[in-house]
């Protein structure tokens, strides 16, 4: 989508989000003169086509963007909730590229909290009741029926738990935990979003329960990470999740690891690493191609079988009609011959009696 400004000066701090609350398609702002050129060209081509009595066609624009490389470092800010399957898939799909980028990328998770002043609050992390909020400032969460999460406090505490894993054990342990948590606890076929499932996942990655519990209680009792996440969401006007920022710029593409990596390389990083390919993508593409070939062969085979069955049925029907016609013809001929024979035989008998 093109947004033409009413000025020829585009301020650096301009952002699409300032004009549209949440654009759902890739969008850019262009200067007034550029917008006027496109508008006038569109009017001209439209009138010309009408004069020639031809159907109106679209105008195709080819746009290229100059790079915005920044210091050979990439900061990836993730804004989400712990019950978001889309982000959990991202951790799996982007895992190869994260290892590839290594120390060139900094990943920071930010968790969404809401404020509901009239709700009850409880700062006790062992409280598993349905109280949806913590702190006097009312940092709250909501439920998620899609994954059978009817207790919003479960999501609230998991947000804090994941923040603590990142803070205490670092990005590698955090990343491994997130991949396994999404696979086990947020499985759409058998969701088990619970503290028990989280504990099992922590054990698999040598994350100690006691250290995380201590961190969680401190994070609730003291002002810090939770308040920072809430303020960041407010400043960036992020009302829906998930969202992704690359070096402070909102990412508006598909949340597939390869596409995010390509965006990082084309806009924010100029490095030989960007020339490398993920072998899993190649294998996946080959698998898709082979599977497609087998599907096509199967469809062709089914069509041939159906055609043969239809043809056989048609032949049998034709043969039955012809066979019945021949029987009928033979029967009529036999009857005619019988009548003629009977008539001649009767005539002969009368002549003999007359003699």
CB 143 within 8 A of CB 156: no
Q: What is the pLDDT of residue 155?
A: 95
Same-domain check for residues 106 and 19 = no
Same-domain check for residues 92 and 188 = yes
Q: Provide the token pair at 185.
A: 């606890």
Output the furthest CA–CA distance in the chain (Å, rounded).
143
Band of the pLDDT at 289, cuts 50, 70, 90? Answer: low
- Identify how many contiguous H helices and E strands the chain contains and give both numbers: 9, 9
| Strand ranges (E), 32-126 | 74-80, 105-111, 114-115
What rounded mean pLDDT belongs to the chain? 82
Domain carrying residue 208: 74-276
CB 82 within 8 A of CB 158: yes
Boundary of a domain, candidates 246, 276, 306: 276
Same-domain check for residues 10 and 104 = no
In the block, tokens 């120390």 appear at: 103
Mean pLDDT of 41-69: 67
Boundary of a domain, candidates 221, 241, 276: 276
Burial of 264 (0-12, 13-18, 19+ CB in 10 A): buried
Q: Output 273-282 pairs: Cβ under 8 A, ≥24 positions apart.
A: 273/100, 273/101, 273/104, 276/100, 278/96, 278/97, 278/100, 280/96
Same-domain check for residues 115 and 255 = yes
CB 201 within 8 A of CB 186: no
Same-domain check for residues 244 and 321 = no
Same-domain check for residues 106 and 219 = yes
Mean pLDDT of 110-135: 91
Residue 286 has pLDDT above 50, yes or no: no
CB 183 within 8 A of CB 92: yes
The SS3 assignment for 3 reads: strand
* In 149-256, alpha helices (H): 152-184, 195-204, 209-221, 225-235
Boundary of a domain, candidates 245, 276, 307: 276
Same-domain check for residues 43 and 124 = no
Same-domain check for residues 95 and 216 = yes
What region, left, alpha or beta, does residue 143 occupy, with left being phi > 0 and alpha being psi -120 to 50 degrees? beta
Is position 265 within any domain?
A: yes
Same-domain check for residues 297 and 334 = yes
Is position 61 within any domain?
A: no
The CB density around residue 262, as the number of other CB atoms within 10 Å, is 14
Is position 120 within any domain?
A: yes
Same-domain check for residues 309 and 263 = no
Same-domain check for residues 14 and 41 = yes
Residue 341 has pLDDT above 60, yes or no: no
Is position 346 within any domain?
A: no
Residue 321 has pLDDT above 70, yes or no: no
Is position 212 within any domain?
A: yes
Q: Say which residues have a Cβ less than 8 Å from residue 70's Cβ, sequence separation at least 6.
A: 247, 268
The CB density around residue 188, as the number of other CB atoms within 10 Å, is 8
Q: Which residues pair with 144 in a beta bridge?
A: 149
Among residues 167, 6, 193, 8, which one has the least CA distance to residue 88? 193
Is position 57 within any domain?
A: no
Band of the pLDDT at 323, cuts 50, 70, 90? Answer: low
Q: What CATH number is associated with residue 168?
A: 3.40.30.10
Residue 316 has pLDDT above 80, yes or no: no
Mean pLDDT of 78-82: 96
Mean pLDDT of 41-70: 67
Is position 230 within any domain?
A: yes
Q: What is the pLDDT of residue 318?
A: 65
Residue 161 has pLDDT above 70, yes or no: yes
How far from 181 is each of 74, 91, 92, 187, 197, CA to CA, in Å? Answer: 25, 10, 11, 9, 8
Among residues 230, 258, 229, 260, which one has the least CA distance to residue 244? 260
Q: What is the pLDDT of residue 284?
A: 47
User: Residue 251 has what DSSP assignment?
Assistant: P
Is position 350 within any domain?
A: no
Predicted confidence (pLDDT) per residue in 32-45, tens digit: 998 898 888 888 77
Q: How many domains does the chain have?
A: 3
Mean pLDDT of 319-342: 63
User: Residue 253 has what DSSP assignment?
Assistant: S
Q: Provide the token pair at 314.
A: 């048609």
Band of the pLDDT at 207, cuts 50, 70, 90? Answer: very high
Band of the pLDDT at 267, cuts 50, 70, 90? Answer: confident
* In 249-278, alpha helices (H): 257-267
Q: Which residues pair with 134 in a beta bridge?
A: 139
Residue 18 has pLDDT above 70, yes or no: no
Same-domain check for residues 160 and 23 = no
Burial of 74 (0-12, 13-18, 19+ CB in 10 A): buried
């Amino acid at each position: 989508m093109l947004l033409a400004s009413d000025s020829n000066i585009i301020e650096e701090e301009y952002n699409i989000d300032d004009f549209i609350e949440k654009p759902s398609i890739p969008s850019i702002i262009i200067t007034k003169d550029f917008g006027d050129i496109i508008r006038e060209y569109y009017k001209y081509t439209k009138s010309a086509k009408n004069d020639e009595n031809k159907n109106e066609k679209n105008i195709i624009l080819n746009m290229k963007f100059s790079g915005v490389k920044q210091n050979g470092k990439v900061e990836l800010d993730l804004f989400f909730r712990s019950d978001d399957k889309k982000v959990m898939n991202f951790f799996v799909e982007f895992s190869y590229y994260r290892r590839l980028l290594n120390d060139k990328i900094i990943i920071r998770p930010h968790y969404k909290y809401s404020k509901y002043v009239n709700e009850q609050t409880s700062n006790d992390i062992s409280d598993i009741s349905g109280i949806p909020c913590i702190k006097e400032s009312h940092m709250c969460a909501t439920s998620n029926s899609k994954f059978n999460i009817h207790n919003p406090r479960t999501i609230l505490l998991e947000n804090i738990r994941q923040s603590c894993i990142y803070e205490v054990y670092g990005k590698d342990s955090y990343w491994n935990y997130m991949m396994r948590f999404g696979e086990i606890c947020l499985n759409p076929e058998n969701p088990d979003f619970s503290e028990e499932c989280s504990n099992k996942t922590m054990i698999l990655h040598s994350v100690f329960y006691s250290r995380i519990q201590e961190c969680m209680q401190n994070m609730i009792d003291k002002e810090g990470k939770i308040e920072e996440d809430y303020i960041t969401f407010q400043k960036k006007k992020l009302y829906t999740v998930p969202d992704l920022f690359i070096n402070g710029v909102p990412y508006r593409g598909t949340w597939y690891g390869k596409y995010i990596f390509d965006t990082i390389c084309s806009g924010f990083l100029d490095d030989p690493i960007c020339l490398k390919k993920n072998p899993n993508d190649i294998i996946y593409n080959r698998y898709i191609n082979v599977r497609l070939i087998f599907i096509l062969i199967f469809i062709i085979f089914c069509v041939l079988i159906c055609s043969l069955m239809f043809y056989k049925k048609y032949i049998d029907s034709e043969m039955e009609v012809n066979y019945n016609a021949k029987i009928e013809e033979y029967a009529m001929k036999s009857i005619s011959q019988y009548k003629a024979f009977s008539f001649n035989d009767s005539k002969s008998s009368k002549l003999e009696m007359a003699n």
